[in-house]
């Protein structure tokens, strides 16, 4: 059965049960979106978010699948369309970060990041390019480390530089469709993806690196996404750095 949001707009958020993804889901729901909360492996977490949204009067469903699997993601797009009548916004927060100096990187880790971060972004961007309604937005995720070039991030940055390339070219390929395509590049943000594996001294140092002298919060990034998903119709083919002035 189709359901309707208060704005009639619908978003699919990959990685929607994660740190930034969950904040994005909650922020878009505040703006009246119906949201499909995508998960890769933790269905219970996604269902809990959906239940919380429903309890507050919002509209949401959970959809699963490997972002790099085109059949699984096509099914996620179809489930979202069946539930809400169409899709206006695709937010691709799904990603993995495995850190190591380039000289000692386990190449299996390079392959894992390539599959999720590059192929996954390509798969969902391709599906969105063929399925989003006019007036829609595709929002991918890069990283500020493409500018700061922190040691240990070589393979991760390589994957995110590819995301930027996909994003900027797709924006131009969708000429005449009234669909914007942009990437958000967060700075150090207090999520498990960022915090895991870092000692307190490293976290403290990074929290002071930006002029605002704090780590970003998932809600800070979600505000940028909400801008691109809603009023920012003249922002297209851009990488937006949400990093407190770090770079």
Beta bridge partners, 61, equal 36
For 62-102, write each residue's pLDDT tens digit: 999 999 999 999 999 999 999 999 999 999 999 999 999 99
How far is residue 104 CA from its own chain's centroid? 29
- pLDDT recorded at residue 1: 42
Q: How confident is the model at residue 4 (pLDDT cuts 50, 70, 90)?
A: low
Integer Cα distance of 63 and 157 in angstroms: 28
- Mean pLDDT along residues 31-43: 96
Integer Cα distance of 114 and 96 in angstroms: 9
- pLDDT recorded at residue 45: 96
Positions annotated as catalytic residues are 156
- pLDDT recorded at residue 56: 96
- pLDDT recorded at residue 224: 98
How far is residue 164 CA from its own chain's centroid? 13
Q: Which of 37-41, 196-200, 238-242 has the lowest mean pLDDT?
A: 196-200
- pLDDT recorded at residue 169: 98
Domain 10-242 -> CATH class: alpha beta
Helix axes of 19-30 and 218-229: crossing angle, nearest 10 degrees = 50
Beta bridge partners, 62, equal 37
- Mean pLDDT along residues 9-21: 96
Integer Cα distance of 242 and 223 in angstroms: 10
Integer Cα distance of 154 and 152 in angstroms: 6
Q: What is the mean pLDDT of the chain?
A: 94
Half-sphere exposure of 183 (CA within 13 A, CB side): 25
- pLDDT recorded at residue 3: 53
- Mean pLDDT along residues 29-54: 97
What beta strand segments (E) does the chain contain?
A: 10-14, 34-39, 60-64, 89-92, 137-141, 180-186, 239-242
- pLDDT recorded at residue 6: 61
């Amino acid at each position: 059965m189709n359901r309707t949001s208060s704005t009639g707009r619908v978003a699919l958020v990959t990685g929607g049960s994660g740190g930034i993804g969950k904040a994005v889901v909650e922020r878009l729901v505040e703006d009246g979106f119906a949201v499909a909360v995508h998960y890769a492996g933790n269905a219970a977490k996604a269902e809990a978010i959906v239940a919380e949204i429903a309890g507050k009067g919002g509209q949401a469903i959970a959809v699963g699948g490997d972002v790099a699997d085109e059949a699984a993601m096509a099914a996620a797009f179809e489930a979202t369309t069946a539930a809400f009548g169409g899709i206006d916004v695709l937010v691709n927060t799904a990603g993995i970060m495995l850190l190591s100096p380039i000289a000692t990187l386990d190449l299996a880790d390079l392959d894992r990041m390539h599959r999720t971060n590059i192929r996954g972004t390509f798969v969902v961007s391709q599906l969105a390019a063929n399925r989003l309604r006019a007036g829609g937005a595709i929002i991918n995720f890069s990283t500020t480390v493409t500018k700061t070039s922190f040691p240990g991030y070589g393979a991760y940055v390589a994957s995110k530089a590819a995301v930027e390339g996909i994003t900027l070219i797709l924006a131009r390929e969708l000429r005449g469709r009234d669909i914007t395509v942009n990437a958000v590049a967060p700075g150090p943000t207090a999520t498990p993806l960022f915090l895991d594996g870092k000692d307190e001294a490293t976290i403290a140092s990074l929290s002071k690196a930006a002029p605002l002298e704090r780590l970003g919060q998932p809600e800070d990034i979600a505000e940028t996404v909400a801008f691109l998903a809603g009023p920012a119709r003249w922002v297209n083919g851009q990488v937006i750095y949400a990093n407190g002035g770090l770079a």
